[in-house]
Amino acid sequence: MSNPTPVEPGKAAAVEHDAVESIVHLMPLVLPVAGGVLMLLLASIAVYMA
């Protein structure tokens, strides 16, 4: 049984594209904004229910 030829490390990194690594640099902006929107939404629901 023959093994497939290994891919060089430099070429493997160029071929693979990780979706998480492409957006992880936005987390310091996205998380606070999403938290603020969630707090406003929950506060408006609480005021409506009161």
pLDDT digits 0-9 by tens, 9-32? 666 555 678 888 888 999 999 999
Share of the chain above pLDDT 90, in %: 50
Mean pLDDT taken over the chain: 83
How many other CB atoms are found less than 10 A from the CB of residue 47?
8
Q: What is the pLDDT of residue 13?
A: 54
Rounded CA gap, 25 and 30, in Å? 10
Token representation of residue 22: 């492409």
Give domain status of residue 11, yes or no.
no
22-26: list long-range contacts, CB under 8 Å, 24+ apart: none
Give domain status of residue 7, yes or no.
no
Q: What is the pLDDT of residue 39?
A: 98
**Residue of 25, 15, 20, 30 lying closest to 7 (CA atoms):** 15
Number of structural domains (the chain) is: 1
Domain extent at residue 27: 16-49
